[in-house]
Amino acid sequence: MFGSILSQVLERVLELPPARTRKIEVTRNLRVPMRDGVVLLADRYAPEDGGAGDAAELPTVLVRSPYGKGGLHSVMYGRPFAERGYEVVIQSCRGTEHSGGILDPFRQEAADGLDTLVWLGRQPWAGDVVTTGPSYLGFSQWALASALASVPDDGSWEGIPRPRAMAVQLAPSDFREPVYEGGSFALHTFLRWTRQRWNFERDEPLHLVRAFGRVLLGVEGRAVGRAEARLPLGDLDRWATGRRVDYWQGWLEHDAPHDPWWDSARHGDAVAGITAPVHLLGGRYDLFLPGLLRDYARLRDAGRQPRLTIGPWAHEDPAWVPVATREALAFFDTHAKGERGRLRDTPVRVHVGGAEEWRDYPDFPPPGVRAERWHLHGGHLLAREAPGDSPPEGYRYDPADPTPSVGGPLFGRGAGPRDNRALEARPDVLTYTSEPLGRNLEVVGPVEAELWVRSSLAHADFFARLCDVEPSGRSVNVSDALLRVSPGRPEPEEDETLQLRIELWPTAHSFRRGHRLRVQISSGAHPRLARNTGSGEPLAAATKLVAAAQQVFHDPLHPSAVVLSVLA
């Protein structure tokens, strides 16, 4: 009864097509055996009358989550899809909720996903499989698809259902990359995640209610904030949760770029081989947008045109939920049920900031986009022309007072576009600003900073951010990224400058007439990214803080610039 009322409310809020039935039979805690004997639990949602049809033939939506299979997931996936003619299976990942085993995040989902699929293939009620879910749940879809690609074609796996469609939201196929964003360590995201997991385990079964209460009271923010101000990073699991967390230690220990420890969490190489139709949804300020777009390009370049929606969202913005649910449903109806006419004509839909409107394109970046260079100049100017002779500007970066992160792709409160004026007033932040634009400038696609810099230290970070400066003087972040340099990476030039190419977050933004472009250069975005201590000590153990003298060049031999994808 309560479930049915909730469904009706949700149908309105999410603007879903009408339910085919409200009679859903829920079977809890189905036991799904893994190859090593561990048993994972799953709940099944079945429309009682088959949702208008023969239940045995209904496609099955598989959702694999480390956040519990009931509660929110039941509301977001269980009922909405079951009421519209799908079997739904929501499984708790290894070591989460009451599933067996120990959680080792990101590294177990390929094998466990495959074993789950084998089990599903043996269930008489399970039809064609489709997969959905955001973030970790999206990554677990990539991992499953990757595991399937490695299954031998010798008949031994006959009967395993191959997903007919995937709807992945806010998730990359490679989770190593966002952990070491730009070669630094994504401190805030992964410490907060570690603390959330700990809350989740200690709070059951009232997890959601208590978690919500703690967020409202600001307890969570303060607890994580206090911990992330400390060093060494190897102690922060204890500061944030009161105990040692093995995976936190593993992440810090295995920070070398090609450490094979991460192989089971990196599925980028398998993406081009995915033949199931893929629907991707990302946010302009999402943590995982760059990886999601790399996966889009891999599929597109392999001749499979994925669908892509990019909204104005950060990771935890609830506004993406209705769009994701509606689009996944229409996508599955098309590909698993053969219903036509529910998908938009063009594969790509992007929300353009500044213009504040949605645009449909045949591809991302859209055809006709050209690279436009905006050069840094002496006098803190930014202009199309190449720079003349001018001395570099310098600043001092002090890891004892690390340059803070303001807005942008943050995990949690404060994410997204923010007023950067206080940040830009700091002496450790340089800015380069254009004249007011004579007409609108539309940037849709990749953004890159090509910088010529010098540091007094061999270990240093450089952070570049593109802002939209309103006529009022308010400077709002559009796109950014950080790059960590270390001895030999990159190789210094003869004059000891470093040429850096920093791939900023791809974006879709219209800089309006009268607004100005601004580029910020600094050496940190703490606590979003762990501070560079400057000492070169190992990531987990570093405590010694060494301040750096940084220089940014802009002259004919060192033409620092941002390169924008400009729409004709």
Give the residues lining the site for ligand BEZ (CB under 6 A).
135-136, 189, 193, 411
Give the integer Cα–Cα distance in Å for 405 and 293: 23
| C-beta closer to ligand BEZ: residue 64 or 164 | 64
| Closer residue to ligand BEZ (CB): 177 or 450 | 177
CA–CA dist 329, 190 (Å, integer): 31
Of 446, 420, 444, nearest to 433 (Cα)?
420
Neighbours of 152 (CB within 10 A): 7
SS3 (DSSP) at 388: coil
DSSP sequence for 458-469: SSEEEEEEEEEE
Handedness of CA 21, 98, 179, 403 (dihedral sign): positive
Rounded CA-CA distance 371/382 in Å is 16
CA distance 568 to 565: 10
Residue the block writes with tokens 């466990």: 112
Question: Please, which residue, 128 or 228, has the CB nearer to ligand BEZ?
Answer: 228
Selection from 202, 182, 183, 204 nearest residue 194 by Cα: 202
Q: Provide φ and ψ at 95, rounded to 5°.
A: 75, 10
Nearer to ligand BEZ, 189 or 507 (CB): 189
Let me know if 261 is exposed, middle or buried by CB neighbors in 10 A (0-12, 13-18, 19+): middle
Q: Are 171 and 293 in contact (CB under 8 A)?
A: no
> DSSP state, 110?
H
Minimum Å distance from CB 287 to ligand BEZ?
A: 6
Residue 325 CB, nearest approach to ligand BEZ (Å): 16
**How far apart, in whole angstroms, are the C-alpha atoms of residue 347 and residue 141?**
21
Q: For residue 404, count other CB atoms closer than 10 A to its CB.
A: 16
Pick the closer one to ligand BEZ by CB: 26 or 72.
Answer: 72
Write the single-letter amino acid at 45: Y
Q: Could you tell me the smallest distance in angstroms from the CB atom of residue 37 to ligand BEZ?
A: 27
- Write the DSSP symbol of residue 59: -
Phi, psi angle pair for 364, to nearest 5°? -135, 125
Nearer to ligand BEZ, 234 or 291 (CB): 291
Name the residue nearer to ligand BEZ (CB basis): 45 or 247.
Answer: 247
For residue 60, the minimal CB distance to ligand BEZ (Å) is 22
Shortest distance, position 80 Cβ to ligand BEZ, whole Å: 19
Q: At residue 473, what is the residue type?
A: G
Question: Is residue 197 within 8 Å of 310, Cβ to Cβ?
Answer: no
The conformational region for residue 438 under phi > 0 = left, psi -120 to 50 = alpha, else beta, is alpha
Return the bridge partners of 481, or none: 464
Q: Is the CB of 189 or the CB of 522 nearer to ligand BEZ?
A: 189
Q: Which is nearer to ligand BEZ, 200 or 411 (CB)?
A: 411
Residue placing its CB nearer to ligand BEZ in the complex, 189 or 420? 189
Bridge partners of 311, per DSSP, are 283
**According to the 3-state scheme, what is the secondary structure of 354-372?**
CCCEEEEECCCCCCCCEEE
Give min distance, CB of 136 to ligand BEZ, in A.
Answer: 3
Q: Would you say 187 or 299 has its CB closer to ligand BEZ?
A: 187
Which of 531, 567, 409 has the alpha carbon at shortest distance from 478?
Answer: 409
Q: Which residue, 77 or 193, has its beta carbon nearer to ligand BEZ? A: 193
152 contacts: CB under 8 Å, gap ≥ 6: none
Closest CA to 142 of 42, 271, 300, 40: 271
Dihedral (CA of 1, 44, 267, 328) sign: negative
Considering beta carbons, is residue 189 or 565 the nearer one to ligand BEZ? Answer: 189
Q: Shortest CA distance to 545 belongs to which of 523, 561, 514, 512?
A: 523
Question: Shortest approach of ligand BEZ to residue 35 CB, angstroms?
Answer: 25
Contact 123, 159 (CB under 8 A): no
Tell me the residue nearest to ligand BEZ as measured from the CB: 135
Q: How far is the CB of 5 from ligand BEZ (least distance, A)?
A: 28
52 DSSP β-pair partners: none
- Shortest Cβ 438–ligand BEZ spacing (Å): 41
Residue 118 or 191 with smaller CB distance to ligand BEZ:
191
Nearer residue to ligand BEZ within complex by CB, 189 or 523: 189
Closest contact distance (angstroms) between CB of 288 and ligand BEZ is 8
For residue 300, give the 3-state DSSP assignment: helix
